[in-house]
């Protein structure tokens, strides 16, 4: 057997075991055996890159950073569903259907997964593109992130159409969500709010390696372009299952609306038994021919309807309102409630978001309020029982001073929150900034969590994050819960953090609006903290993805003398305040060129193309402007980009033309 044949055989075997484990929940080999086979394939791919396969199971671990997401137009529009909240709504819907369809109508009933919608495109049985719903016409190309999900087959077995789309929801199972939050809390980070938003946010992470670490699953519910292989919605679901997609067993073929109601009633009662969240049931006309007859409105298919479950709600008394201070100084009001059972847990507190929300609800102390669990996880107040309000009940006056340090609060025009401006002397802000500094995606200091930070601050051992680098074992040992080993681990973790690259140090500083991606862009562009400190607003907004709000925040941060003193201390302790991940330079052939990469490519992945451009001295930019030198365009380049490039007269090169040019110059 040749090397190429060995690699092909290993890929086929690993793909099958992936499906048995992640889709069918029926593993045939141990994790150790799987890992050994995977390691063998990785070794072969490293030694023989000429036999690389973009759909190899080794790509599940993610491929690195993405500089923003390209916009991709859906081959077939992704419509939204009309919602119904009562049986009468469904009866009215069926009556409308029967005015168009003379024959008997059967329905496919499916669970409505609460996640992030995705459209997957397959060509010749291989995944070529994954696009978010967006506005239904176009969305973000998140192919690199979706490739990391084990429940998404990278290749399927025939028979299959030459090209087809399959739609579904990216979800985060409840157990995975709870595990992720346990880790975040242990690291001193804010827990995620609910599985749905966390799944959606995961799709937009810039580093596909981080996506690969999250237990995301893709539940499929629709195949577009396989009419030759399936005549009904029910058949298309079974077809998808046979291809290896994750299609849950919980769907039925209903012969009439009565059977639809039974399905709805059952899952309204039993939905909490599922390992993932649902927020309703989707009812579709089963016949694809009848679907075609019914067609679409401007927004929705006429042949489908979503029945939304009522969120579980409870009534309880609002005892008081307290106010929390975040690391940025933002004030969040919290409702303290008489304990009430809701969705299987005892609820004592609920978010009131901000002053505007309190005014909108006109909620008052002593009111009987209605509480729901948003996404079945986070409690929120959704209304007030005015019939039970006391006649002399006073309106809530939002606080004017910080509850922690008594500094007068400020509220900027256009901002939803009030803020405490006492950045350097307000205890929750001090603790919050240090917790952010040590977090996993920032300095990632092992052995240091939120409770320990609070302990260090309360014992006046640290006042800002630069003080961490002055701590000694003799200072730490007398503290509660600090044993000899934990103290050593903490000191070692602090010392090791000095190796973190510049962009992570910049993110760790906690500049408002400067998240991970912005920090990476700033570090890459300015290359040192000194250059960044000296940058003008015009220079800042010229950087990719940096707008005026971020630029103003960066300038304001470095205008504060206390921040500059802390940075000088951090420099003296050896933290990395210059440099960025180096690019191996092959030539300067593309020096001075700003290049846009757009579309789906056959010879190289988009990331590999971008790396090649940078290796030859070029700069990859995400958006087209009059500064763009040329565009490398693959299949399915967005029409808006094509139109803009033509308008500006920017040259477009195919993948072959670009690679030939590079080879010709090398």
DSSP symbols for 530-558: HHHHT--HHHHHTSTT--HHHHHHHHHHH
Cβ-in-10-Å burial (0-12, 13-18, 19+) of 429 comes to: buried
Distance CA 256, CA 285 (A): 11
Close Cβ partners of 611 (under 8 Å, ≥ 6 residues apart): 583
Distance CA 58, CA 35 (A): 11
Which of 14, 1, 4, 2 lies closest to 48 in space, CA to CA? 4
Q: Is the torsion defined by CA of 514, 520, 524, 527 positive or negative?
A: positive
Instruction: Look at the block and give the residue holding tokens 């237990």.
Output: 215
Establish whether 641 is a catalytic residue. Answer: no
Distance CA 423, CA 566 (A): 13
Query: Tokens in use for 492?
Result: 């070692």
Cβ-in-10-Å burial (0-12, 13-18, 19+) of 16 comes to: middle
Q: End-to-end CA distance of the chain: give it in Å, rounded.
A: 35
Distance CA 320, CA 352 (A): 12
For residue 577, what are the CA distances in angstroms to 21, 56, 134? 45, 38, 37
Edge to edge, the sheet with strand 116-123 lists: 126-132, 116-123, 163-171, 217-224
For residue 124, what are the CA distances in angstroms to 100, 120, 164, 618, 664? 37, 13, 9, 33, 32
Cβ–Cβ < 8 Å for 368, 183: no
Which of 338, 378, 385 lies closest to 364 in space, CA to CA? 385
Which of 105, 145, 113, 112 lies closest to 129 in space, CA to CA? 145
Query: Tokens in use for 250?
Result: 């919980």
Kind plus residue range of the DSSP H or E element containing 336: strand 331-342
Which of 411, 631, 619 lies closest to 525 in space, CA to CA? 619
Does residue 385 have a cis peptide bond before it, meaning omega lies within 30 degrees of 0? no
Which of 437, 571, 577 lies closest to 502 in space, CA to CA? 577
Triad 487, 489, 495: Cα angle to 5°: 105
Distance CA 328, CA 436 (A): 10
Catalytic residue (one of 39, 87, 112, 395) = 112
Residues belonging to the active site: 112
């Amino acid at each position: 057997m040749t090397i190429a044949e060995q690699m092909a055989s290993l890929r086929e075997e690993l793909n099958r075991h992936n499906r048995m484990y992640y889709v069918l929940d029926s593993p045939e080999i141990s994790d150790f055996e799987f890992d050994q086979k995977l390691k063998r394939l990785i070794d072969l791919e490293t030694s023989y890159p000429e036999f690389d396969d973009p759909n190899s199971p080794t790509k599940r671990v993610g491929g690195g950073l993405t500089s923003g997401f390209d916009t991709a137009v859906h081959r077939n529009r992704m419509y939204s569903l009309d919602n119904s909240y009562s049986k009468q709504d469904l009866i009215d819907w069926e009556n409308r259907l029967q005015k168009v369809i003379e024959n008997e109508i059967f329905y496919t009933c499916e669970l409505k997964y609460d996640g992030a919608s995705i459209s997957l495109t397959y060509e010749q049985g291989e995944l070529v593109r994954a696009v978010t719903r967006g506005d239904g016409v176009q969305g973000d190309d998140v192919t690199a992130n979706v490739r990391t999900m084990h429940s998404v087959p990278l290749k399927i077995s025939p028979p299959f159409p030459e090209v087809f789309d399959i739609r579904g929801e990216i979800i985060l199972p409840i157990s995975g969500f709870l595990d992720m939050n346990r880790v975040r809390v242990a690291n001193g980070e804010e827990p995620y709010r609910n599985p749905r938003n966390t799944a959606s946010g995961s799709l937009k992470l810039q580093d596909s390696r981080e996506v690969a670490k999250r237990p995301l699953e893709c539940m499929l519910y629709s195949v577009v372009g396989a009419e030759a292989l399936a005549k009904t919605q029910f058949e298309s679901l079974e077809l998808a299952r046979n291809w290896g997609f994750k299609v849950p067993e919980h769907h039925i073929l209903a012969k009439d609306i009565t059977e639809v109601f039974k399905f709805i009633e059952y899952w309204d009662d039993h939905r909490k038994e599922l390992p993932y969240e649902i927020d309703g049931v989707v009812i579709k006309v089963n016949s694809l021919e009848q679907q075609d007859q019914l067609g679409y409105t401007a927004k929705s298919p006429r042949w489908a309807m979503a029945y939304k479950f009522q969120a579980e709600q409870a009534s309880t008394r609002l005892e008081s309102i307290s106010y929390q201070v975040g690391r940025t100084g933002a004030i969040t009001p919290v409702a303290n409630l008489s304990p009430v059972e809701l969705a299987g847990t005892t609820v004592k507190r609920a978010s009131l978001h901000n002053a505007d929300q309190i005014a909108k609800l006109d909620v008052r102390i002593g009111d009987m309020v209605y509480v729901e669990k948003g996404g079945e996880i986070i409690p929120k107040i959704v209304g007030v029982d005015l019939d039970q309000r006391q006649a002399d009940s006073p309106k809530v006056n939002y606080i004017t001073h910080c509850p922690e340090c008594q500094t007068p609060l400020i509220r900027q025009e256009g901002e939803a929150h009030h803020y405490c401006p006492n950045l350097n002397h307000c205890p929750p802000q001090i603790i919050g900034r240090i917790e952010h500094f040590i977090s996993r995606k920032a300095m990632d200091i092992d052995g240091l969590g939120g409770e320990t930070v609070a302990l260090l601050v309360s014992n006046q051992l640290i006042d800002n994050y630069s003080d961490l680098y002055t701590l000694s074992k003799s200072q730490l040992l007398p503290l509660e819960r600090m044993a000899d080993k934990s103290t050593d681990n903490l000191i070692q973790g602090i010392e090791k953090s000095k190796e973190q690259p510049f962009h992570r140090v910049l993110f760790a500083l906690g500049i408002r609006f400067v998240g991970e991606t912005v920090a990476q862009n700033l570090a890459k562009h300015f290359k040192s903290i000194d250059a960044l400190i000296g940058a003008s607003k015009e220079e800042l907004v010229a950087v990719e993805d940096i707008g005026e709000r971020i630029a103003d925040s960066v300038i304001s941060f470095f205008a504060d003398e206390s921040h500059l003193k802390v940075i000088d201390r951090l420099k003296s302790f050896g933290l990395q305040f210059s440099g960025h991940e180096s690019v191996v330079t092959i030539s300067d052939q593309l020096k001075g060129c700003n290049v846009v990469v757009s579309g789906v490519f056959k010879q190289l992945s988009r990331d590999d193309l971008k790396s090649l451009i940078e290796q030859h001295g070029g700069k990859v930019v995400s958006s087209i402007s009059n500064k763009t030198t040329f565009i490398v365009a693959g299949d399915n380049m967005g029409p808006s980009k094509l139109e803009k490039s033509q308008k500006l007269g920017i040259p477009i090169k195919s993948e072959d033309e670009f690679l030939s040019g590079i080879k010709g110059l090398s």
